[in-house]
Amino acid sequence: MSAPARVLVVDDSPTMRGLISAVLSADPEVNVIGQAGDALEAREAIKRLNPDVVTLDIEMPNMNGLDFLEKIMRLRPMPVIMVSTMTHRGAEATLAALEIGAFDCVGKPQPGEIRPFGDLVEKVKAAARTQRNFAKPAAPAAVTPPAVADFRVGRKIVAIGSSTGGVEALIAVLQKFPANCPPTVITQHMPPTFTKSFSERLNRLCAPVVEEATDGARLEIGKVYLAPGGERHLQVSNASAPCCRLVERGPVNGHRPSVDVLFDSVAELAGRNAVGVILTGMGRDGAAGLLKMRHAGARTLGQNEKTCVVYGMPRVAYELGAVEQQLPLAAIGEEILKMTAARKEGTE
């Protein structure tokens, strides 16, 4: 058995520090080695204790969590999990933190919540295990997506699944898409209220229109649909006029929305007229659904181990035989376009 993950808990609220510490300490594979109430205390604790993982609040006195995270990633890179309020402002800040290099995020508990902090324990253990170099991500090279006139879209639907590390990964993939990209549906594991802010952020950064999926929304060329977090699963339906469906159903693989639910529906609806992509993430959600897509004739891609924050979902999919090609993240967007472009003699 490996040594327990050593965690430093940083939050300006003593009550919140106590709650987080209690949740983490209940697992024998996690050891809370210290607490800090602000960035100054946290800086000294990191030097003294050398934790494997830090949980970090965003709203703190003296220096906010985003500024402190930037310093951590620049001066002493390590896995950091953001603990955020479930508000629009909190979501915006957390998404910025994930782009800076935070490992993942969890929401602060809401009244009556059955499982406070969700899968924080699992994320802490995964963060401690990962071999990723937690240096601050290099500023991305300027990405110029293909001009509309240079890309002739075919009839394929693109389905993408991602989890831990997915914010950076999805930005990297979608920034390669032209404004007339193939209809694209995405399930990214993310707390409720965060997906609206994330879709708005993607829409600002990418050439296609990116929006949070709504029930009945028609799949259209030039549009990307992101599954809303928390309450329902995203599916596609209606072969004559494909559209989004938000389905009330229990969690699948511990997630709602689930990548498997999305991929299953795409396999049934589109078959060979689809491309399935599985990106970085913990666990196995999406692996079985991607295999179903491949068996139905779809093209399938997986992110390779070297470029994943967590090589979990793509690994399981690859081992099942669901992945036709494993590629580095930087190559996936372009490969999707190759697979979905119309042939010169007609559309696919």
Report residue 210 as tokens.
Answer: 């990116």
* Active site annotation includes 13: no
Catalytic residue among 189, 258, 260, 264: 189
* β partners of residue 326: 302
Buried b (16+ CB within 10 A) or exposed e, 223-244: bbbbbbbeebbbbbeeeeebbb
Inter-residue contact 168 to 307 (CB < 8 Å)? no
Dihedral angle computed from the Cα positions of residues 212, 216, 222 and 224, in that order, rounded to the nearest 10 degrees: 30
Report residue 171 as tokens.
Answer: 């930005």
Position 246: which residue type? Answer: L
* Active site annotation includes 285: yes
Query: 261: part of which helix (H) or strand (E)?
Result: helix 259-270
What's the CA gap between 261 and 5, in Å, rounded? Answer: 32
What's the CA gap between 216 and 116, in Å, rounded? Answer: 32
* Active site annotation includes 21: no
List of E strands, 46-123: 53-57, 80-84, 104-107
Per this entry, what is the length of the chain?
Answer: 348
In eight-state DSSP terms, residue 255 is B
Catalytic residue among 21, 84, 162, 163: 163
Query: 185: part of which helix (H) or strand (E)?
Result: strand 184-188
Per-residue DSSP letters for 9-36?
Answer: EE-S-HHHHHHHHHHHHTSTTEEEEEEE
Give me the half-sphere count of Cα atoms (radius 13 Å) on the Cβ side of residue 346: 1
- Please give the positions annotated as active site: 163, 189, 285
